A = this chain, B = another copy of it.
Amino acid sequence: MKTITIGLLGLGTVGKGVVTLLQKQAAKIARTQDFRFKLKSVAVHNCAHHRNDNLPAGTILTDKVTDVVDDPEIQIVIEAMGTIEPAKVAICQAILNGKSIISANKDLLATAGDEILPLAKTAGVDFFYEASVAGGIPILRVLSSSLETDQITQITGIINGTANYVLTAMDREHKDYATALKAAQELGYAEADPTNDVQGIDATYKLIILSRFAFGQSLSLKDVPRRGITTISPAQLISAGQLGLKVKLLAVAKEENRQLFSFVGPAAIPASEPLAHVNGVQNAIAVQSDALGETTYTGPGAGAAPTANSILSDLLATGDDIVKGNCGREFNSYRKPVSAKPLTAAPQQYLITVEGTGNLLSIISSIPTLSWQQQATGRNYWSGLTPVISRDALEELLITLKRSGQKISYLPIANSWQPVLEKIEE
């Protein structure tokens, strides 16, 4: 049986998870593959911090990244450092040294994927990154194998566990945002600085990676309109519930006529849709495609073991390619020219909420031109569901309502959007 030598960069939550799962599953891997893995060395920032980590006997612990990426014996480098630099330099160096790469680094892949992935192809090495999107859900491999023969028209993801945890807690326990966030931080579900999660930046990175696989198109951060969850109020969640809707931070990309509409932000989803039932730190991705209709993939979006499992599945694929001399195939080879558009600009339905102590109904009745589809009221709030209206009409409505001095907020209704398509010259 052939032995494949691997090196690991980083020994945080993900790195430790990889070491643990690799040891735990060594016997199963040996039973199903004609090769086994040997973890030769692990590079960390400070060796002293990891003296008591449970590494396999004989594994070298080093504080020099070059001890891993320049080691001629190492065939696969697992990058689990997690920030853009110095991960990027280390990966490039490893690729130039002919090593295959496995990474969970969504920030790096979303922002520099177009730059570093071609290096791997040129060098004839593998570069897999299943763990970079939705932790343990095998969505990238599903998109690149099983859905490759289909035509995907929309991806809708709940792909940030922190934001979903906070929104679920606000909804179930009627907490306000700050209280729910604090509880999430105490439980380890939100970081001390939660900006990337609650502002939708993390979800946008993941949507960028998903869009390459689904639509053959590389979006950039500025292509995707983005809204966070920090201003969502309990009244919005309660009134949404009264109308049979659940509020989730969605990441959406929808292709029509070579135009790729996208957005990341909170939206209200009808309870009849599977995504409405994805709660807590769970992630889910709903894929709409021509042949399959809708398929939905639900599972853990983060955590040491789920992320490690995605990395190990990449490791098996790479090991198989090494043994058979097949390295260099791209994880995603789909490319299609489409133009990026904001989905937020499309006509759609909105849930409008008025909160305050004024006479809310008289405020609403001062807007005679709008036919509210449904309404919900409580002690100090009123919510109404608009028909499909243009973005301009929404802005105008918000301005009018804000004159009342009450707190006015809005949420788009998922899948109500009706993009206006540009004519494409053939």
Binding site for B on A (CB under 8 A): 21, 24-25, 28-29, 31-33, 130, 136-138, 141-142, 145-151, 274, 277, 289-300, 305-306, 308-310, 312-313, 315-317, 324, 326, 333-336
Residue of B nearest to A135 (CB): B292
CB of B300 within 8 A of CB of A149, answer no
CB of B151 within 8 A of CB of A28, answer yes
Contacts of A137 in B (CB 8 A): 295
C-alpha spacing A368/B146, complex, angstroms: 55
CB of A146 within 8 A of CB of B313, answer yes
CB of B295 within 8 A of CB of A297, answer yes
Residue of B nearest to A310 (CB): B146
CB of A138 within 8 A of CB of B148, answer no
Given the interface contacts A274-B274, A290-B305, A300-B292, does A313 sit within 8 Å of B145 by beta carbon?
yes
Among B151, B291, B305, point to the contact of A291 (Cβ < 8 A): B305
Copies of this protein chain in the complex: 2
C-alpha spacing A149/B317, complex, angstroms: 11
Among B24, B145, B150, B312, point to the contact of A25 (Cβ < 8 A): B150
CB of B149 within 8 A of CB of A130, answer no
Contacts of A24 in B (CB 8 A): 151, 290
Closest chain B CB from A358 CB (angstroms): 39
C-alpha spacing A25/B150, complex, angstroms: 7
CB of A300 within 8 A of CB of B308, answer no
Q: Which of A145, A293, A324 has the most chain B CB within a 10 Å cutoff?
A: A145
Known: A137-B295, A149-B313, A324-B326. 9 other contacts (CB 8 A): A25-B151, A28-B148, A32-B148, A141-B141, A145-B145, A148-B316, A291-B308, A293-B306, A294-B300
C-alpha spacing A141/B140, complex, angstroms: 13
CB of A295 within 8 A of CB of B32, answer no
Closest chain B CB from A360 CB (angstroms): 33
Among B130, B292, B309, B324, point to the contact of A309 (Cβ < 8 A): B292
C-alpha spacing A21/B305, complex, angstroms: 38
Closest chain B CB from A21 CB (angstroms): 6
Closest chain B CB from A147 CB (angstroms): 7
Given the interface contacts A148-B316, A334-B31, does A294 sit within 8 Å of B299 by beta carbon?
yes
Closest chain B CB from A131 CB (angstroms): 11
Contacts of A296 in B (CB 8 A): 296-299
8 of the cross-chain contacts (CB-CB < 8 Å) are A28-B151, A141-B145, A146-B310, A149-B313, A289-B309, A293-B300, A295-B299, A295-B300
Contacts of A315 in B (CB 8 A): 149
C-alpha spacing A297/B146, complex, angstroms: 13
CB of B334 within 8 A of CB of A32, answer yes
Residue of B nearest to A136 (CB): B292
Q: Which of A142, A295, A312 has the most chain B CB within a 10 Å cutoff?
A: A295
Contacts of A291 in B (CB 8 A): 21, 136, 305-306, 308-309
Given the interface contacts A21-B291, A298-B274, A309-B292, does A130 sit within 8 Å of B151 by beta carbon?
no
Contacts of A306 in B (CB 8 A): 291-293
CB of B274 within 8 A of CB of A145, answer no
Contacts of A326 in B (CB 8 A): 324, 326
CB of B305 within 8 A of CB of A25, answer no
CB of B277 within 8 A of CB of A150, answer no
C-alpha spacing A21/B289, complex, angstroms: 13
